């Protein structure tokens, strides 16, 4: 009997993802992650004479960090609403940054256009992972660097997405974004013409309480907002219980607040 696996409709998946990231207001969560962008710029040894591209930039954490180093920065995302949040922040700090709507899987730039290509918790969510990796490599010059910050599979955020997946399963055959948080997968994605340096780091989510964190993520973080909207009331109650249980299991605070350390992989890829 001939068994065929149905082809994955990556375009449809991307459209759904774009809708999810356009919902809510990711900047409410994203602003708290600013330190990751600062660390990443230090990790790639960013210089003021570098041409920098931030891919899937969201509300611009790595973008702003690079601009504070006086680099020539282009910030891209396929969600205009997220770029607008980055523009607002740049204007407040009087930073000169170019913002451009662009798909991480089809970057509208010439080969070798940038000295440094960055992405913090962004490019890892692209449905066509191989295409996105090759696009980042293509626009990075020889000798240039690609700096990434990606959630790990077993960290708090990795577990959060696994919990959501029990209620809203991902499309069959779609690779987990958390694979970007493993060195072995990055070696497969970027091939043997690069040098990879990777270090596990931790970011601590800090909220007034587990309930406060859930309310923020449910109200503003697109994937969580959309997950709750896609299920009935009984399932919503179950998802809420499971997310609160997850928070309790990782919470290191003892004063009623939430301090949830989440591991991520900080990667520096040098293109030969």
What residue segments make up the domains of the chain, in order of their start? 10-204+263-271
pLDDT interval class at 17 (50, 70, 90): confident
Percent of residues, the chain, with pLDDT higher than 90: 89
pLDDT interval class at 1 (50, 70, 90): very low
What would the mean pLDDT of 211-237 be, rounded to a whole number? 97
Tell me: the pLDDT tens digits for 225-243? 999 999 999 999 999 999 9
Residue 133 near residue 258, CB atoms below 8 Å: no
256/146 Cα distance (integer angstroms): 39
202/151 Cα distance (integer angstroms): 9
Q: Is the dihedral angle over the CA atoms 52, 95, 93, 57 positive or is it negative?
A: negative
pLDDT at 23 over 90: no
Directed axis angle between helix 80-93 and helix 61-68, to 10°?
A: 30
pLDDT interval class at 21 (50, 70, 90): confident
For residue 4, the model assigns a pLDDT of 46
pLDDT at 131 over 90: yes
Bridge partners of residue 73, in order along the sequence? 52
Tell me: the pLDDT tens digits for 95-108? 999 999 999 999 99
For residue 79, the model assigns a pLDDT of 94
pLDDT interval class at 28 (50, 70, 90): very high
For residue 173, the model assigns a pLDDT of 83
Environment class of 253 (CB within 10 Å of its CB; exposed 0-12, middle 13-18, buried 19+):
middle
33/37 Cα distance (integer angstroms): 8
Tell me: the pLDDT tens digits for 144-202? 999 999 999 999 999 999 999 999 998 888 899 999 999 999 999 999 999 999 999 99
Residue 169 near residue 13, CB atoms below 8 Å: no
Q: What's the fold here for domain 10-204+263-271?
A: Rossmann fold (3.40.50)
Environment class of 221 (CB within 10 Å of its CB; exposed 0-12, middle 13-18, buried 19+):
buried
Mean of the per-residue pLDDT values for the chain? 95
What would the mean pLDDT of 7-32 be, rounded to a whole number? 85
Buried b or exposed e, range 19-50, using 16+ CB within 10 angstroms: ebbbbbbbbebbebbbebbbbbbebbebeeeb
254/68 Cα distance (integer angstroms): 36
What would the mean pLDDT of 65-92 be, rounded to a whole number? 97
For residue 5, the model assigns a pLDDT of 44
What would the mean pLDDT of 263-270 be, rounded to a whole number? 98
Residue 157 near residue 182, CB atoms below 8 Å: no
- Phi, psi at 200, each rounded to 5°: -80, 125
Percent of residues, the chain, with pLDDT higher than 70: 97
């Amino acid at each position: 009997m001939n068994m065929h696996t149905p082809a994955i409709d990556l375009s449809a998946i991307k459209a759904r993802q774009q809708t999810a990231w356009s919902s809510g207001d990711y900047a409410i969560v994203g602003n708290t992650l600013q330190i990751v962008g600062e660390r990443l710029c230090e990790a790639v040894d960013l210089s003021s004479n570098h041409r920098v591209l931030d891919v899937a930039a969201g509300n611009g954490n790595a973008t702003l960090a690079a601009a504070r180093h006086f680099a020539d920065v282009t910030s891209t995302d396929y969600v205009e609403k997220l770029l607008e949040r980055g523009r607002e922040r740049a204007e407040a700090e009087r930073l000169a940054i170019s913002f451009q709507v662009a798909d991480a899987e089809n970057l509208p730039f010439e080969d070798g256009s940038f000295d440094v290509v960055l992405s913090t918790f962004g490019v890892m969510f692209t449905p066509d992972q191989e295409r996105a990796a090759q696009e980042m490599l293509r626009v990075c010059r020889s000798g240039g660097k690609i700096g990434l910050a990606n959630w790990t599979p077993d960290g708090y955020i990795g577990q959060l997405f696994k919990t959501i997946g029990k209620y809203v399963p991902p499309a069959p055959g779609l690779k987990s974004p958390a694979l970007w948080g493993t060195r072995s997968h990055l070696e497969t994605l970027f091939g043997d013409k690069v040098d990879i340096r990777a270090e596990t780091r931790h970011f601590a989510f800090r909220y007034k309480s587990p309930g406060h964190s859930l309310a923020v993520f449910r109200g503003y973080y697109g994937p969580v907002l959309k997950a709750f909207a896609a299920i009935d009331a009984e399932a919503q109650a179950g998802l809420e219980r499971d997310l609160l249980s997850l928070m309790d299991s990782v919470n290191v605070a003892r004063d009623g607040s939430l301090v949830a350390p989440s591991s991520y992989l900080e990667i520096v890829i040098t293109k030969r």
